[in-house]
Amino acid sequence: MGEERKGHPRNRPRDSQPPVMEREPRSEEPAYGTPPAAGRGRRLPRVLALVILVAFALIVARQEIPAVADWWARAFTPAEWGVRQTCRQAARADLRDRRYVRLLRAGKLHHTQDGPYVTRMTFSVLGEDGGRETVAYQCYLDNNGQVFRLERGSE
């Protein structure tokens, strides 16, 4: 019994505790929660899905709601919006004796060397007999943006 080993249970005082292995510090996350890295990976598909949904809704709204189409044109194609707005104002001036004028279709914009023109611009108006009447216009502008000719027809 000549050799005494350091840390051997017989050489320790009786009131001391056995050596304890140190534990890693606990994270603030509960044991049932997801690790932080996994949570970040799930956010991207959710945000991407939301962006796709909003884009799809905006495309449909632009095609079906005239106010959204007007906002879109004003924000992203202001030159074309100005041409259509000039033609709308000329057509509304022509319909000045009518009440309850409503734009049904903004029409199709075409460009030529002499200036732009809008075809199939359609309005709904209250007719003489109280019924709904549909009126279509073609509007031609010169290169300066002034109304050159406004043709009225019925649809």
Nearest by Cα to 152 from 108, 105, 117, 120: 120
30/28 Cα distance (integer angstroms): 6
User: Tokens standing for 112?
Assistant: 């030529």
Helix axes 78-94, 66-76, angle to 10 degrees: 130
Nearest by Cα to 19 from 32, 9, 28, 29: 9
- CB within 8 Å of 22: residues ≥ 6 apart: none
Instruction: Read off the pLDDT band of 8 (50, 70, 90).
Output: low
Share of the chain above pLDDT 70, in %: 72
138/153 Cα distance (integer angstroms): 8
94-143: pLDDT as tens digits: 987 777 888 888 889 999 998 999 999 999 888 778 888 889 999 999 98
Beta strands in 2-146 (DSSP E): 102-105, 108-111, 116-126, 132-141
Instruction: Read off the pLDDT band of 51 (50, 70, 90).
Output: very high
Q: For the residues 21-28, what does the mean pLDDT come to?
A: 66
pLDDT at 40 over 60: no
Q: What is the pLDDT of residue 144?
A: 86
> 48 φ, ψ to 5°?
-60, -40
Q: Which of 27-31, 53-57, 63-67 has the highest mean pLDDT?
A: 53-57
Q: 36 or 132, which is more confident?
A: 132
Q: What is the pLDDT of residue 19?
A: 62
39/122 Cα distance (integer angstroms): 52
150/148 Cα distance (integer angstroms): 7
Q: 88 or 33, which is more confident?
A: 88
